[in-house]
Amino acid sequence: MSQSHHQYFAHGRAFAIGIALNLAFVGVEVFYGLIANSSALLADAGHNASDVLGLFFAWGAFRLANMTPRGKYTYGWQRSTILSSILNAVLLFIAVFFIAKDAIMKLQEPQPVAGTSVMIVAGIGVVINTITALLFMKDQKHDLNIKGAFLHMAADAGVSLGVVVAGLLINITGHQWIDPAVSFVIIAVVLWGTWGLFVDSVNLALDAVPKNINIEEVRDALNNYPGVQDAHDLHVWALSTNRTAISVHLVVPGGGGDRFLADVQKMLKDEFNISHATVQIEKEKNNQIECNHR
């Protein structure tokens, strides 16, 4: 089995395990949140529920991105990972609205909260979310879709830890306002992470240069490449959350053959992790003589 196929099945297994664990935990949180009358616990359940949907979307997008291009989808379905990231962000914004609404009601009319139950259930959440985050830790540096899943689960582990602290403080002080107050801390954490994911995803959808690539460094590398007199009409954009494309015109007075194009493509891959290059060679600027697609 090739490395790519191995990663495909490993990611699929990680998504399946993560979804199963978190779906079960959401049910537990809702049940005990209602019994304990805890808005913090219900808030965490709402956040985790949106993350379960997020994992579903990320898994589906991951599978679509690996489908063979056909018909009018000449690039395949790779951009589904970008759309999935945007949808995940929107779902989290909706979850934040309902979390805030419930917390405000509890602040206006404080109600008794079973602190011990909150601590126990949220403690289970710390373990489950940590395990799920670890499933995606290895590959999150190379794929925004995977990174989104990793960051959500890591943040959830921290949020659940905050709920444990809330239960402990309620038991110690007896102050019921601590529970909705922690809900607002959860909201701040979710908004902070979600806004970054939303902005990055929208930028990719609008064909902005991916944030991990410095367009001026790419331009300089091409302009300084042996045999290249000038690089112009340079465009860099994302095919998916882990694949980047480039198109550029290179003025090469001596011309450039297959070997030259292969070397340029290798340089772009090695130095900038740009995997799909379309390069047009010109002997003189605005005097096109050869067009090669790679």
Q: What is the pLDDT along the chain (294 residues), one digit of tens a residue?
A: 444 444 555 667 888 888 888 888 888 878 877 887 777 677 767 767 777 877 887 788 777 777 777 778 777 788 888 888 888 788 778 878 877 887 788 788 776 666 677 778 878 888 988 888 888 877 666 676 777 777 778 777 777 787 788 778 878 887 878 878 887 887 887 788 778 878 888 998 888 998 889 999 999 999 999 989 999 999 999 988 778 999 999 999 877 778 899 999 999 999 999 989 999 998 876 544 444 444
pTM for the model = 0.71
> Residue 148: helix, strand or coil by DSSP?
helix
CATH number of the domain located at residue range(s) 3-205 in this protein: 1.20.1510.10
CA distances from 220 to 45, 188, 226, 259 (A): 49, 40, 12, 21
Question: Could you tell me which of 129, 140, 138, 157 has the C-alpha nearest to residue 58?
Answer: 140
Rounded to the nearest 10 degrees, how much is the dihedral formed by the CA atoms of 89, 90, 92, 96?
A: 130
Class of residue 30 by CB neighbours under 10 A (exposed 0-12, middle 13-18, buried 19+) = middle
Q: Do domains 3-205 and 215-293 have the same CATH topology?
A: no
Q: Contact at 8 Å (CB) between 269 and 245?
A: no
Which sequence spans correspond to the domains of the chain?
3-205, 215-293
Task: List Cβ neighbours of 201 (8 Å cut-off, separation of 6 or more).
Answer: 82, 85, 86, 89, 144
List the structure tokens of 107.
């602040």
CATH class of the structural domain 215-293: alpha beta
